[in-house]
């Protein structure tokens, strides 16, 4: 069970606002790095980049973004379709937000905690998942690839070893 308070974590939106307040000519650029292999297992991958101009006057109203900018930080994220509430309809968008939050944290915009509120909400959702129920339902439908994804997700969520073993057992009994 999660033992943290989501209110203690800054949202990605709050980080973005602080970044642009400090860097009105900065840029946040996202790139969909999802491969066909990623999509075959219902996964999205996004890279976010934080760019700052080399030369600008913060006091000037007509500041322009110079061609010679520098990459301040990057952040990567992945999401799986259908895992969690938002991922059922907006996994790519959720992935993009997560990547931006990570990139901003790497650029020094991490608030009072490095993880964003959205990342910690993902942890809280993982604690509430019915891992065995999902594994059993997938095994009954012979969804071997989905079982592998569930197992990987469970490992990342640090699910108890005895539950991981049961998920693995469902995978070995499922027939593709």
Instruction: Give the CA angle between residues 37, 77, 98 to the nearest 5°.
Output: 140
118 and 143 fall within a common domain: no
Evaluate if pTM is beyond 0.85. Answer: no
1 part of a folded domain: no
Q: Which two tokens stand for residue 51?
A: 């760019």
35 part of a folded domain: yes
Tell which of 127, 145, 161 closes a domain. 127
Q: How many domains does the chain have?
A: 2
160 part of a folded domain: yes
28 part of a folded domain: yes
- Each of the 176 residues of the chain gets a pLDDT tens digit; together they read 456 555 666 778 888 999 999 998 899 999 999 999 888 888 899 999 999 887 655 555 444 554 567 899 999 988 888 755 556 678 898 889 889 998 998 998 876 665 555 665 565 555 555 556 666 665 555 566 676 777 777 777 777 788 778 777 766 665 55
150 and 111 fall within a common domain: no
Tell which of 94, 109, 127 closes a domain. 127
75 and 14 fall within a common domain: yes
Alpha carbons 160 and 58: distance in angstroms, whole number: 52
95 and 143 fall within a common domain: no
């Amino acid at each position: 069970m999660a033992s943290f308070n989501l209110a203690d974590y800054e949202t990605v939106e709050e980080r973005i606002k602080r970044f642009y307040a400090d860097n009105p000519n900065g840029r946040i650029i996202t790139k969909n790095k999802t491969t066909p292999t990623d999509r075959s297992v219902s996964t999205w991958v996004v890279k976010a980049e934080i760019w700052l101009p080399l030369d600008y006057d913060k006091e000037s109203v007509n500041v322009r973004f110079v061609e010679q900018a520098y990459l301040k930080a990057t952040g990567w994220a992945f999401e799986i379709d259908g895992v969690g509430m938002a991922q059922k309809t907006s996994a790519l968008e959720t992935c993009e937000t997560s990547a931006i939050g990570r990139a901003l944290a790497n650029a020094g915009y991490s608030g009072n905690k490095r993880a964003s509120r959205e990342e910690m909400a993902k942890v809280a959702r993982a604690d509430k998942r019915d891992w065995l129920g999902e594994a059993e339902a997938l095994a009954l439908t012979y969804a071997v690839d989905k079982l592998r994804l569930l197992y990987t997700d469970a490992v990342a969520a640090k699910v108890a070893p005895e539950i991981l073993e049961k998920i693995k057992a469902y995978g070995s009994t499922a027939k593709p």
